[in-house]
């Protein structure tokens, strides 16, 4: 046997020996096999689905999005009529889902932090009240809580004539929360542009104050200064432009109000149920994060003359955030996905409008469900990305 023949015979054997004994090569080989299997499986699923659709004479495509919807939606944040397309109906449902998710996250975060800190309070009554709230609401299914707020609380409110009059011409009745509708005038967009400008300016002042404190040891009222900039700059521009904003006040005519704007009971029930429910889990997350901070941190702060409120805000909570943020992200994701339960109380979210009405009218089940799943996946990934960015900002060490 020649040297060339011997080398050719040993080549396959050397490859298999590398696969068996070289961890790097073995890892690449197995990952390639898994990827190939997943690609073949996806091709099989698509081919099998297409064959079944052809056999059942079910049309496939996204042309139905341009068809006339023909159904009404109770809460419309954008223009929509019966003659609008299913694509427009999809936008309405998506915006309603985003509205309840964003507002729910804001309210749940505020309530959760307050309740979580209250559970650690030295005030016996406050701590026990927070404990009862957490242990009660987190052990009742969210769907039942939504039905409770909608059926047992809001539905039994009196009509508009006997409704509860609140300040600023706001009326609470079984028709919802009726309030004045803002009407923007010419130049108001300049005021809106001043809001991000004020936020950037406040951020710059905060960075300057931090560098100044490191260099000189002198503190600066960052919170009050930032609040004054964010509120004051748009307000000054608003007044200089002649206050380009008026309000249309609701008027009671007959058995209902005319004019103004209405927050429907379905949205109120959704916000109450989903915020109070998620806040219980956030409260426990906040409590665990605070308890994870060493007690010596508070003792050192007290020895320096800081009050309990200052110690919690400046020393304990910033350190606890490194423990709080990762599980807090999961609660935000759960809240966004739990918003799909709005179908049970008639709130026109994405599932009710698109995966409900549009699917029943058009019959394009695969396309509608695929789009709905993709939307929730995108919302979850965006939320997770933002929270991961924020988590990296407050991390103990640089990554």
How many folded domains does the chain comprise?
A: 2
Give domain status of residue 381, yes or no: yes
- Count, residues in the chain: 399
Mean pLDDT of 94-103: 94
Mark whether 302 and 358 lie in a shared domain.
yes
For residues 350 and 94, is the Cβ–Cβ distance under 8 A?
yes
Give domain status of residue 148, yes or no: yes
| pLDDT value, residue 11 | 56
Percent of the chain exceeding pLDDT 70 equals 93
Mark whether 45 and 97 lie in a shared domain.
no
pLDDT classification of 221: cutoffs 50, 70, 90: confident
- Domain housing 25: 3-55
pLDDT single digits (tens) 322-341 = 889 999 999 999 999 999 99
| pLDDT value, residue 399 | 45
pLDDT classification of 1: cutoffs 50, 70, 90: very low
Mark whether 136 and 270 lie in a shared domain.
yes
Mark whether 121 and 27 lie in a shared domain.
no
Other CB atoms within 10 Å distance of the CB of residue 372: 22
Mark whether 268 and 150 lie in a shared domain.
yes
Phi–psi pair at 22, nearest 5 degrees = -95, 115
Q: Residue 102: left (phi > 0), alpha (psi -120 to 50), or beta?
A: alpha
Mark whether 296 and 380 lie in a shared domain.
yes
Other CB atoms within 10 Å distance of the CB of residue 257: 23
Pick 65 or 214 by higher pLDDT.
Answer: 65
Mean pLDDT of all residues in the chain? 86
Q: Name the nearest CA neighbour of 210 among 201, 222, 198, 202.
A: 222
Mean pLDDT of 296-321: 82
Mean pLDDT of 151-174: 86
Percent of the chain exceeding pLDDT 90 equals 35
231-234: long-range contacts at Cβ-Cβ below 8 A with a sequence spacing of 24 or more?
231/198, 232/198, 233/194, 233/197, 233/198, 233/201, 234/191, 234/192, 234/194, 234/195, 234/198
Q: Name the nearest CA neighbour of 350 among 363, 333, 369, 365.
A: 369
Element spanning 117, H or E: helix 86-118
Output the domain CATH number for residue 148.
1.10.3720.10
Mark whether 15 and 114 lie in a shared domain.
no
């Amino acid at each position: 046997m020649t040297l060339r023949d011997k080398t050719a015979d040993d080549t396959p054997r050397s490859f298999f020996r590398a696969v068996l004994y070289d961890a790097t090569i073995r890892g690449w080989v197995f990952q390639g096999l898994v990827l190939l299997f997943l690609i073949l499986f996806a091709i099989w699923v698509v081919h099998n689905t297409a064959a079944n659709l052809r056999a059942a004479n079910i049309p496939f495509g996204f042309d139905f999005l341009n068809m006339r919807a023909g159904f009404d939606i109770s809460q419309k944040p954008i223009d929509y009529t019966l003659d609008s397309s299913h694509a427009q109906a999809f936008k309405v449902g998506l915006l309603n889902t985003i509205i309840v998710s964003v507002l729910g996250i804001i309210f749940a975060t505020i309530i959760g932090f307050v309740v979580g800190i209250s559970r650690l309070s030295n005030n016996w009554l406050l701590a026990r009240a927070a404990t009862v709230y957490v242990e009660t609401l987190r052990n009742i299914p969210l769907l039942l809580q939504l039905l409770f707020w909608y059926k047992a609380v809001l539905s039994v409110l009196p009509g508009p004539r006997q409704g509860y009059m609140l300040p600023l011409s706001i009326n609470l009745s079984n028709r919802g929360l009726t309030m004045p509708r803002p009407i923007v005038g010419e130049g108001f967009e300049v005021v809106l542009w001043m809001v991000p400008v004020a936020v950037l300016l406040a951020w710059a002042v905060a960075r300057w104050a931090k560098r100044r404190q490191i260099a000189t040891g002198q503190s600066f009222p960052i919170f009050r200064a930032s609040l004054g900039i964010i509120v004051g700059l748009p307000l000054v521009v608003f007044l200089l432009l002649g206050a380009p904003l008026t309000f249309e006040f609701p008027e009671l005519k007959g058995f209902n109000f005319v004019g103004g704007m209405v927050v429907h009971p379905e949205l109120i029930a959704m916000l109450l149920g989903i915020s109070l429910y998620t806040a219980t889990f956030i409260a426990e997350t906040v409590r665990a994060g605070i308890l994870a901070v060493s007690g010596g941190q508070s003792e050192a702060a007290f020895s320096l003359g800081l009050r309990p409120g200052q110690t919690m805000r400046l020393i304990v909570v910033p350190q606890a955030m490194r423990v709080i943020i990762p599980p807090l992200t999961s609660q935000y994701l759960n809240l966004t996905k739990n918003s799909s339960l709005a179908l049970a109380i008639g709130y026109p979210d994405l599932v009710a409008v698109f995966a409900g009405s549009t699917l029943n009218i058009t019959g394009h089940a695969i396309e509608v469900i695929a789009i709905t799943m993709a939307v929730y996946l995108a919302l979850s990934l965006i939320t997770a990305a933002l929270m991961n960015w924020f988590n990296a900002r407050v991390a103990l060490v640089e990554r």
